[in-house]
Structure 1
Amino acid sequence: MTQATLRNFVNGKQCEPRDGRYSDVIDPSTAESYASAPVSSAADVDDALRAARDAFETWRDTTPAERSRALLKFADAIEARSAELTEAECRNTGKPLAIASTDEVPPSVDHLRFFAGAARVLEGRSAGEYLRDHTSMIRREPIGVCAQVTPWNYPLMMGLWKFAPAIAAGNTVVLKPSDTTPVSTVLLAEIAAEFFPPGVFNVVCGDRDTGRAMVANPIPAMVSITGSVRAGMEVARTAADDLKRVHLELGGKAPVIVFDDADVESAAKAIANAGFYNAGQDCTAAARVIAGPRIAADLADALAEQARSTKTGGLDVTDANYGPLNNPVQLSRVSGFLDRTPAHATVAAGGHAISGPGYFFEPTIVSGLRQDDEMIQDEVFGPVITVQRFTDEDEAVRWGNDVRYGLGASVWTKDHARALRVSRRLDFGVVWINTHLPFIAEMPHGGFKHSGYGKDLSMYGFEDYTRIKHVMSYTGE
């Protein structure tokens, strides 16, 4: 079968990499190559960044209404081609079509429309006279060229979370998708070309060296990445040499604190859904259950039962709950955690890779782990949920906070006062109460500690792509 050959998308047109280097794009559900994508060099990156810099000179002067209108037309086009985008996303990631078609493309369109509206309501403090005979005002302006890097777990959605607010604010973008999942991002750029001037939205494919070249290049004024803690730290170090702004959304290890008054069966079902969704390849996955002393054993059993009834399969398996891990390295990583399970812990369900083609792993429940165990402290990024038993509220909060991450958490209880008290004490950027995982465009998403800084979504995320200028005018005679 003839394989597709992807191209970079720069200055409104497809471009071959200068040195002709390509890499295979693998379908994770079959472990077979089905396309090839450019491995862009520093020269390719520079071409894209120069195109974005040139486009910024005119795009920055467009009105909010003009930018909003272009984004809304783009959203309509994505919605009209949702089946094509969903198929591209699922072939690239192995996700079941039935899930991605409802859970990813429609919310992505909604988020895009939110930022189209946000472009027209950016506000600042009113002008005023704070010094006699002088009038001061605040301007919010676009930052400039934004270099952006997206991960392989949600390439389509994370791409929209990145470039939509940047473009809405008047910036121009060069975006690099993960080298394992470039297909839907390239398609987005091709669709966008109908609605944005050349150079406003550019896509370069490539590996880590391509991303490093983007960050090191002097043209970008801001770098935004969703990825691993290692990658985020490297980006921050490199960007510091040029004092670039940095926006980091990194890993997570979400505590799920379940108190004794919670309904065990309903909590187990919801937690399993939020822990196994997308094969656990989610920085906010419900990965780390911390349960009350009276319900811990029952909750572990209920979660194990949920795991045994959870089905994994490829894009055409209509009743699959999740698909494969993204690549063989990730499969090996997840398997390694289970291979190193300490003797004092129990694998109550799953625990193994699934034989056959593709990078599938069983839905897994592990109980009896201690707070300093590897599987508690480090992000597994697979369909693995751990269960610990706490003795009191203080211990639950202490264990919840005792990781280097600070992205998402949840509290499960019927006691409203306790829910608010514990949510205040948890050191995480988002805390859900009696639910876990939903996102909405109007509210911010972003973490603390090693989960990074900056916000995606919401007006807070939009404002991250602007700079503040004070303008003062002498008004005396």
Structure 2
Amino acid sequence: MTDLTHRPRPLFIDGLWHEGHAEARIAVMDPATSEIFARIGAADRDQTGMACAAAARAFPAWRSLTGAARAQVLEGFAQGLRARHAALVALQMRNNGKPRAEAELDLADAAACFDYYAGLARALDSPAPVQDLSEDGLTGRGLAHAVGPVGLIVPWNFPLVTSAWKIAPALAAGCSVVLKLSEMTPLAELVYGDIAAEMGLPAGVLNILTGFAEVGQALCDHPQIAKLSFTGSNPVGAQVMEAAARRIVPVSLELGGKSPIVVMADADPARAAELVLDGIFMNAGQMCSATSRLIVEAPIAPDLIDAVVEGARARRLGAPDGAQMGPITTAPQYRHVLEHFARAKAEGARCLTGGAARTDLAGQFVAPTVYADVPTDSFLWRAELFGPILSVRQAASEHEAIALANDTEFGLAATVVTADAARGQRIASQIAAGHIWVNAPQIILPQSQWGGFRASGIGRELGPAGLQAYQQRSFITTQG
């Protein structure tokens, strides 16, 4: 198996690997054991500038290629990921603590994203249709142009996936890329540089930086970066948006969530419990889309809550290869989750199960946790906790359930569970969220759409909208 942990030159700039010049090095940890298993270099501000300049030089030629030519490159990335399947799955299990099934799903999702945007890239070669504009012989046609070199900043909770969601449409549109990785999980996404080098991708089209906050700030401030796309926390997203505003460049933000799962009284309790458990405990709740608020119609509430508590207690934690739920990935987030437990206890929250660290296990494990009868003004109900913490409230009616679902500053995702298909669509259409599942697990397909309302962000990823996020549009009007 290929060793992806030894990276003496972890920066991919202008087609070559470079050592990091920052004084501090990145310590890469296994959260299941708290072991530091690798140390790699980080970029400094000057190297960030080098990467941005390389992307700017590469942009004109890359933009000028046919969509079909860019599609071949995207398919090469998909093939390269699949060829490294075993090594990448093992690395995500080690660096993120992901159970094997989740690590394999992430890899499959990333490869599928590159394949999907290869198809959209080929479609760009079709000529824009001419429109009749008036009886005076005026015609017009719209054109799409790559926005330019783009800066992409990705988080630690889904390596490979969140980067694929950005790299693939950006390259498909004809943009060159500077990708800044999370310092918490920097190793897996470096394979994009390996694949680019193998394929002979023109120098500067894809640049990859490891580093700390100063790298992200330098990327946001660089005058040659024409667009910023960020996935992460709301406070950092606000800083990215501020930087974009100073330079008047477009920005896409995929931020936090406090997503509801609404279960109606006619739902099958066993199926509903399965969707609830997976919605909050997948990736140990470290998902912006985690359905962390259970809103259950009163008649089914006792049976459903019992089933959820039983399922939470039965969740297998431990070494990722045999687990259903892994550890908290980063040490800072582990501390935050323990602080949430302490605050909930101090505030008298009714904990049905969990609410503590799993001290019987090595590493950063916490128990799957369920709180009942959570007040709507509690931090448990309102704040994004980014851990395996479920808050439960009962609703007396469909109307109240919808009102509770929408009682949040966020609006990223939601789930509706009901035996009545028409009712499911009716409820889903009234929830203010960017992606809503009806009787379905949290499957996010490349051809769908992702992004939120309100504090959950700006813009959309995936589907045609994901490609359009990296394009500017012009319109040509012609007489005669």
TM-score tier (shorter): over 0.9
| Correspondence 1:130 to 2:128 | no
| Correspondence 1:347 to 2:351 | yes
Indicate if the aligned counterparts of 1:367 and 1:387 stay in contact, CA closer than 8 A. Answer: yes
Task: Spell out the pairing of 1:255-334 with structure 2 (5 A cutoff).
Answer: 255-315=260-320, 317-318=321-322, 320-334=323-337
Question: 1:433 offset after TM fit, Å?
Answer: 0.8
Change (3 A) 1:80 1:4: closer
Q: Specify which of 104, 107, 110 is matched with residue 105 of structure 1.
A: 107
Question: 1:104 offset after TM fit, Å?
Answer: 1.2
**Rounded Cα–Cα distance in structure 2 between residues aligned with 1:412 and 1:96:** 26
| Correspondence 1:395 to 2:397 | no
**Rounded Cα–Cα distance in structure 1 between residues aligned with 2:131 and 2:298:** 59
Q: Which amino acid aligns with 1:14?
A: W
Indicate if the aligned counterparts of 2:14 and 2:204 stay in contact, CA closer than 8 A. Answer: yes
What whole-Å deviation, never above 9, does each CA across 1:344-363 have from its counterpart, x for those lacking one? 53211111111243111111
**Rounded Cα–Cα distance in structure 2 between residues aligned with 1:264 and 1:279:** 22
Q: Which amino acid aligns with 1:248?
A: L
Q: Which residue of 2 is the match for residue 114 of structure 1?
A: 116
Q: Which residue of 1 is the match for residue 438 of structure 2?
A: 433
Question: 1:20 offset after TM fit, Å?
Answer: 4.8
Identity of aligned residues (%): 34
What whole-Å deviation, never above 9, does each CA across 1:114-166 have from its counterpart, x for those lacking one? 01111112478622353645542211010001100111000111111110100
Task: Spell out the pairing of 1:171-186 with structure 2 (5 A cutoff).
Answer: 171-186=175-190
**Rounded Cα–Cα distance in structure 2 between residues aligned with 1:253 and 1:189:** 34
Normalising by structure 2, report the TM-score. Answer: 0.94
Question: 1:19 offset after TM fit, Å?
Answer: 4.3
Q: Which amino acid aligns with 1:171?
A: C
Q: Which residue of 2 is the match for residue 25 of structure 1?
A: 28
Change (3 A) 1:62 1:4: closer
**Rounded Cα–Cα distance in structure 2 between residues aligned with 1:63 and 1:156:** 26
| Correspondence 1:189 to 2:193 | yes
What whole-Å deviation, never above 9, does each CA across 1:233-278 have from its counterpart, x for those lacking one? 1111111000111011111111011111111122112210221011
Across the aligned residues of Structure 1 and Structure 2, the Cα RMSD in angstroms comes to: 1.8
What secondary structure does 1:347 align onto?
A: strand
Question: 1:472 offset after TM fit, Å?
Answer: 3.5
Q: Which amino acid aligns with 2:83?
A: A
**Rounded Cα–Cα distance in structure 2 between residues aligned with 1:331 and 1:240:** 33
Change (3 A) 1:328 1:19: closer
| Correspondence 1:467 to 2:472 | yes
Q: Which amino acid aligns with 1:452?
A: G
Q: Which amino acid aligns with 2:120?
A: A
Indicate if the aligned counterparts of 1:89 and 1:156 stay in contact, CA closer than 8 A. Answer: no
Change (3 A) 1:257 1:323: same
Task: Spell out the pairing of 1:208-227 with structure 2 (5 A cutoff).
Answer: 208-227=213-232
Q: Which amino acid aligns with 2:371?
A: V
| Correspondence 1:39 to 2:39 | no
**Rounded Cα–Cα distance in structure 2 between residues aligned with 1:120 and 1:435:** 31
| Correspondence 1:449 to 2:451 | no
Q: Which residue of 1 is the match for residue 12 of structure 2?
A: 9
**Rounded Cα–Cα distance in structure 1 between residues aligned with 2:214 and 2:147:** 25
Q: Specify which of 74, 85, 91 is matched with residue 88 of structure 2.
A: 85
| Correspondence 1:458 to 2:467 | no
**Rounded Cα–Cα distance in structure 1 between residues aligned with 2:131 and 2:379:** 56
User: Which blocks of at least 5 consecutive residues in structure 1 are unaligned?
Assistant: none
**Rounded Cα–Cα distance in structure 2 between residues aligned with 1:162 and 1:46:** 20
What secondary structure does 1:178 align onto?
A: coil
Instruction: Identify the range of structure 1 (141-150 vs 358-367) with the bigger mean alpha-carbon deviation.
Output: 358-367
**Rounded Cα–Cα distance in structure 2 between residues aligned with 1:344 and 1:259:** 28
Q: Specify which of 61, 64, 74 is matched with residue 61 of structure 1.
A: 64
Instruction: Identify the range of structure 1 (337-346 vs 423-432) with the bigger mean alpha-carbon deviation.
Output: 337-346
Change (3 A) 1:298 1:59: same
What secondary structure does 2:362 align onto?
A: coil
Change (3 A) 1:98 1:399: closer
Q: Which amino acid aligns with 2:254?
A: E
**Rounded Cα–Cα distance in structure 2 between residues aligned with 1:424 and 1:96:** 34
**Rounded Cα–Cα distance in structure 1 between residues aligned with 2:81 and 2:386:** 29
Task: Spell out the pairing of 1:356-375 with structure 2 (5 A cutoff).
Answer: 356-375=361-380
User: Which blocks of at least 5 consecutive residues in structure 2 are unaligned?
Assistant: none
Indicate if the aligned counterparts of 1:135 and 1:474 stay in contact, CA closer than 8 A. Answer: yes
**Rounded Cα–Cα distance in structure 2 between residues aligned with 1:369 and 1:252:** 18
**Rounded Cα–Cα distance in structure 2 between residues aligned with 1:182 and 1:422:** 40
Q: Which residue of 2 is the match for residue 420 of structure 1?
A: 425
**Rounded Cα–Cα distance in structure 1 between residues aligned with 2:474 and 2:142:** 6
Instruction: Identify the range of structure 1 (393-402 vs 87-96) with the bigger mean alpha-carbon deviation.
Output: 87-96
**Rounded Cα–Cα distance in structure 2 between residues aligned with 1:3 and 1:165:** 29
**Rounded Cα–Cα distance in structure 1 between residues aligned with 2:282 and 2:365:** 13
Q: Specify which of 36, 47, 52 is matched with residue 49 of structure 1.
A: 52
Q: Which amino acid aligns with 2:418?
A: T
Instruction: Identify the range of structure 1 (351-360 vs 44-53) with the bigger mean alpha-carbon deviation.
Output: 351-360
What secondary structure does 1:283 align onto?
A: coil
Change (3 A) 1:49 1:393: same
What secondary structure does 1:119 align onto?
A: helix
Question: 1:24 offset after TM fit, Å?
Answer: 1.1
Instruction: Identify the range of structure 1 (350-359 vs 61-70) with the bigger mean alpha-carbon deviation.
Output: 350-359
Q: Which amino acid aligns with 1:325?
A: I
What secondary structure does 1:248 align onto?
A: strand
Question: 1:444 offset after TM fit, Å?
Answer: 0.5
**Rounded Cα–Cα distance in structure 1 between residues aligned with 2:22 and 2:435:** 44
